[in-house]
Amino acid sequence: MSSAKPKTLRIDRISCIGSGLCAELLPELIDLDEWGFPIIADRTIPPRLNGPARRAVAACPVLAVHTDEDPC
């Protein structure tokens, strides 16, 4: 059994411009509010979603999406 800390997802709400790419690439974890800004109900990233989570982080035009592995 691995003792690695589970990966978590977070949004820098100050930087976020509400482009919606993160929710498009990771709809399993990210919803959008009525103004198009992301809502994350569960921050823990299941191992099966590591790839899509990395793509969502990389696609954010203002680098507002992070995982616990990313430097802030």
Q: What pLDDT, in 10s, does the model give residues 12-58?
A: 999 999 999 999 999 999 999 999 999 998 999 999 999 999 999 99
Q: What's the confidence (pLDDT) of residue 68?
A: 87
What does pLDDT average to over the chain?
A: 90
Handedness of CA 50, 56, 72, 36 (dihedral sign): negative
Q: Please list, in sequence order, all residues whose beta carbon lies within 8 angstroms of the beta carbon of residue 45, skipping any fewer than 6 positions away.
A: 6, 7, 8, 9, 29, 53, 67
Report which residue type is found at 20. G
Domains (range + CATH), the chain: 9-67 (3.30.70.20)
| Per-residue pLDDT, 37 | 97
Q: pTM value? A: 0.83
Q: What is the DSSP string of 46-66?
A: -GGGHHHHHHHHHH-TT--EE
